[in-house]
A and B are shown apart, each in its own frame.
Chain A
């Protein structure tokens, strides 16, 4: 299995798990955690592509809401307290990635002259 096949296989596994979770969540879970969704069905089809991709987040929110751990006020507080450190980290990591990328890139072998090793006839003898 080469790298591309491995990435594609991992994506397939991820989406298959997402499909199972979408099936369970949209038939059972959503009615339990969102009373506004009860009796409404057509819109659930629209949620399937999103759930395929972010199913861990769906599971996590389902768990939080199901176990009544959700603090409604906190959910709507913007996470601005993290912005300062995120900005600092970005300001360091982005130039670092560029500099590392430039420093490890290959150098074109300008001075290498092609070398003739043998003739085909010599190899066959």
Chain B
């Protein structure tokens, strides 16, 4: 075909007859290529599993004793249909914000807490409603259950932020989620260790610092990676808490 007779595509005019077949084949090829790419990329990702905010339960209100170290925990004394008495509930604020300023003033007090449950399997957390609707101080000293030491353990797994892991995001773990997780941890959201296999029947453990305080910022770089830890574990209510030992952390190859 000479240069002058060669079909020429102009967007706002009809498609030249000679180009219709080529255009159709190219369109199918591009579409199939994108579908194949999406399927292949999706196949490399792990199933995030069932987790999320349980708005369908409605707002939950329970009473319990508040502990703020290493992270806000509620030892439920008067539960309801969804949250039973005796359960240790991890608490978080709205989004990536702390529950309230000066929460430590309520340490050991009986409080009425209201919020929305996040749930992934055995892991749950209560996102506390804002302001007075969220935490009501009952001005009564409560009893924080004594922690029960379970000894030193060698574990493999991953440190995540408990809120995204429990379903605020899906997936809420892994290297791609590391920056989000660290922002959550900066907002006093409890970090959670996901163990490769259950420890004393539990797969999820609250992570505390070596001194029993918050998870140290110097260790944030380990969040989202698969790790091997040697660590002390204790039981608080029905929640397992590990005290991380910075010198006994190894990144799994």
B13 at the interface (CB under 8 A from A): no
Q: Flag if B226 contacts A106 (CB, 8 Å).
A: yes
Q: Which residues of B contact A123 (CB under 8 A)?
A: 152
Known interface pairs A2-B221, A109-B196; A119-B149 also in contact (CB < 8 Å) = yes
A105 at the interface (CB under 8 A from B): yes
Q: In whole Å, how far is B112's beta carbon from the nearest beta carbon of chain A?
A: 35
A84 at the interface (CB under 8 A from B): no
0 or 1 for each of A73-92: is its CB under 8 Å from B? (1 = yes): 00000000000000000000
CB < 8 Å neighbour of B44 from A102, A106, A111, A122: A102
Q: Flag if B196 contacts A110 (CB, 8 Å).
A: yes
Q: Which residues of A contact B56 (CB under 8 A)?
A: none
B1 at the interface (CB under 8 A from A): no
Q: Flag if A118 contacts B196 (CB, 8 Å).
A: no
CA of A41 to CA of B154 in the docked complex: distance in angstroms? 67
Q: Which residues of B contact A107 (CB under 8 A)?
A: 226, 252
CA of A100 to CA of B10 in the docked complex: distance in angstroms? 41
Q: Flag if B225 contacts A106 (CB, 8 Å).
A: yes
CB < 8 Å neighbour of A108 from B151, B153, B196, B232: B196
Known interface pairs A3-B221, A102-B44, A106-B226; A112-B152 also in contact (CB < 8 Å) = no
CB < 8 Å neighbour of B252 from A109, A114, A116, A121: A109
CB < 8 Å neighbour of B253 from A2, A106, A110, A115: A106
A45 at the interface (CB under 8 A from B): no
Interface size on B, residues (CB 8 A): 25
Residue of B154, B230, B251, B253 with most partner-chain A CB within 10 A: B154
Q: Flag if A117 contacts B230 (CB, 8 Å).
A: yes
Q: In whole Å, how far is B183's beta carbon from the nearest beta carbon of chain A?
A: 11
Q: In whole Å, how far is B199's beta carbon from the nearest beta carbon of chain A?
A: 5
Q: Flag if A112 contacts B221 (CB, 8 Å).
A: no
Q: Which residues of A contact B175 (CB under 8 A)?
A: 105-106
B77 at the interface (CB under 8 A from A): no
Known interface pairs A114-B196, A114-B199; A109-B151 also in contact (CB < 8 Å) = no
11 contacts across the A-B interface (CB closer than 8 A): A3-B221, A106-B226, A106-B252, A112-B196, A114-B154, A114-B155, A115-B154, A118-B151, A120-B149, A120-B151, A121-B149
Residues on B facing A (Cβ under 8 Å) = 44, 46, 149, 151-157, 175, 195-199, 218, 221, 225-226, 230, 232, 251-253
